[in-house]
Chain A
Amino acid sequence: MPAARRALKDILAGGIFIALGLAFAFGALAYSIGTPLRMGPGYVPLVLGGLLAILGVAVIVKGFMAGEGEEIGTPDWRAVILVAAALFFFGITVRGLGVVGALFGASLMAALARSQTSWKEALAIAIGITVLSVVIFIFALQLRLPLVGPWIPV
């Protein structure tokens, strides 16, 4: 197996660390850095961002020296997108649609994230979860959230 292939996991991991480290370090430059005696808000993120980038390089180097060569496997894009969408949907609509609408939409998207689940099953799951959550959180735990929000004219 070629070295680059064997180190693929480590190259990707190192890449994530380098990218995030540099992003934090450059972001930190926008704030005042200060001196060790009086550190500004940018001092610690700058140092840590640099350190993270260096560790990222180390991960890649080590990958080339002794990569384990395990398969990564294709990500389940449908699951990633639908699960993230479910959470965003809840956050965006909970005020406007109210708890019932936000929960129903979010659990429907979440249920559909599993590719083997059919539309009918997903609908049933979403209705069940909405009823269960309303009973637990609104009626039993008295959480003060509106069941129906201002977006839905009653």
Chain B
Amino acid sequence: MELFDNLALGIETAVRLENLLYCLIGVVLGTAVGVLPGIGPTATIALLLPITFNFPPVSALIMLAGIYYGAQYGGSTTAILINLPGESSAAVTAIDGHEMARKGRAGVALAAAAIGSFIAGTVATIVIVLFAPPLSAVALTFGSQEFFSLVVLGLIASIALARGSTVKALAMIVLGLLLGTVGQDTYTATPRFVFGVRELYSGINFVSVAVGMFGVAEILRNLEDERTRKLITHKIAGLWPTREDFRRMVGPVARGTAIGSGLGVLPGAGHVLASFGSYSVEKRLSRRKQEFGHGAIEGVAGPESANNAAAQTSFIPLLTLGVPANPVMALMLGALIIHGITPGPNVINDEPALFWGLIVSMWIGNFFLVLLNLPLIGIWVKMLAIPYKILFPVIIAFASIGTYSLGLNAWDVFMIAFFGVLGYALVKVGCEPAPLLLGFVLGPLLEDHLRRSLIISRGDLLTFVERPVSAGLLALAVVALALAVLPAIRKKREVVFANEDDL
């Protein structure tokens, strides 16, 4: 059996003592840097990347994979504890995870994230082993039309993320799309909305938007709250999930894993769509819809599983097509090239030990992560005990230096301030930041595929409904929009007539 041969080769490579050690070091370092407030996974990996340059390629990549999982988990930790997602997919975790932390259930949220991630990681590893070749073939059949429709569906689905009004969420998506157009146009190289600032030619840095809209805006809101009334004191109500919590996690973890494994394969933003998609699905299916946005454990377990499964399967487009799905994968691509490996269809044949060793070490990395983090939850939660007057200047200082280190670009730091103030203003008038962030991430992809599709179809807009897969995805988007808008209208009418607010 070829499959078992592959797996055996992978295990043989990954469990070599030095590789196990590199994986463990990677996980420890990734987690340690990733939990620093203000330093997200992208910054963590960028900071730790140079350490791996001195090792042989297989060990370096295994260590890097460890750093990646550690950084991601560290990012989820700060998203949950202090509402500071360093990455687009962790933005979803922050919604309910941070609410859980505010209610004293930070430990439970962290445990749910760790356990969900581990299960999803295990399943996704099997998915990769079984389906890597056929899945990459499916992803290859997707044309620009399908990608455009998929992105539209993802954006519409993200409306479910917002607590308040549907119209505001739509407007936030469009604003995010517009902010995504800042920078050089890919087709004509015309710089757009850069006001003569050369540093903006490559676009606004995602990290600046995330840290500003979530981190800094949250700090400003807390400072205002503290001035007018007392901050919520963080009483910690037990670190371990109860039997009831476990029962509520099973479904979301299973569904999140399935959604994540599937969407992660798609080159481009698959893991973002996965965590956003999982959240929408859980919110739709739940009998406790009103708990979402106020600390529902399903809203942490589902997206975290989806995120981790997708993180795993997103190595498929990277390794088979050479397409990086997100900024983190772009860094991994850079690391591969530094080690003399050109990602593409040939990696799996030319470097089987590397390919399968990397995949097996992903699972081992996940295993180390759970082993390391479950006992450490108590320590991470203590982060909440740091007095706020010390914690928030630390966040600002770390965010400044971390973001600056990404590209030695002062404008990345200025943009944190801009988005912090904009985010604060928007939250104050009742607009949630998550849909804006998704629009910002997917905007360039949407425009690119729109323009490419229309060039292919000679300007015929019907091309999007003439191709069956694309038409199906758009139909789903329409249904999702109708589902989101109709109950809102009905509820508002009730509010008007009954003159009472039933949130």
Binding site for B on A (CB under 8 A): 9-10, 12-13, 16-17, 20-21, 24, 27-28, 31-32, 35-42, 44-45, 48-49, 51-52, 55-56, 58-59, 62, 65-66, 68, 70, 72-73, 75-76, 79-80, 83-84, 86-88, 90-92, 94-95, 99, 102-103, 106-107, 110-111, 113-117, 121, 125-126, 128-130, 132-133, 136-137, 141-143, 145
Contacts and interface: CB of A to CB of B under 8 A. Distances in A.
Given A76-B220, A133-B397, A145-B404, 14 more contacts: A13-B429, A16-B426, A20-B178, A21-B175, A27-B193, A35-B459, A38-B455, A51-B174, A87-B414, A90-B401, A110-B393, A114-B389, A125-B390, A141-B48
A59 B167 contact: yes
22 contacts: A13-B429, A31-B192, A41-B185, A45-B193, A48-B177, A52-B178, A59-B165, A59-B171, A62-B167, A62-B492, A65-B492, A73-B428, A75-B224, A79-B220, A90-B397, A91-B400, A114-B226, A116-B226, A116-B389, A125-B390, A129-B394, A133-B397
Main secondary structure of the interface of A (DSSP, over half): helix
B438 interface: no
Interface string B177-207: 1100100010110101100000000000000
Contacts of B185: 31, 41
Interface in B139-193: 165, 167-168, 170-171, 174-175, 177-178, 181, 185, 187-188, 190, 192-193
A136 B47 CA distance: 11
B67 interface: no
B410 interface: yes
Contact of A48 (B174, B219, B390, B459): B174
Given A110-B397, A133-B398, A136-B36, A41 B174 contact: no
B263 interface: no
B292 interface: no
A87 B416 contact: yes
Contacts of B388: 114
Nearest to A137: B401
B203 to A, nearest CB: 13
B455 A87 contact: no
A91 B410 contact: yes
B461 interface: yes
Contacts of A68: 430, 501
A117 B389 contact: yes
Contacts of A111: 389, 393
B190 A31 contact: yes
A40 B188 contact: yes
Contacts of B223: 76, 79, 83, 113-114
A63 B50 CA distance: 53
Contacts of B290: none
Contacts of B402: 137
B178 A91 contact: no
Nearest to B189: A41
Given A37-B455, A55-B174, A66 B496 contact: yes
Interface in B405-455: 405, 410-414, 416-417, 420-421, 424-426, 428-431, 447, 450-451, 454-455
Interface string B200-239: 0000000000000000100110011011100000000000
A117 B493 CA distance: 47
Contacts of B459: 35-38
A13 B175 contact: no
B392 A110 contact: yes
B318 interface: no
Given A9-B429, A45-B192, A94-B410, A66 B396 contact: no
Contacts of A83: 216, 219-220, 223, 396, 417, 420
B247 interface: no
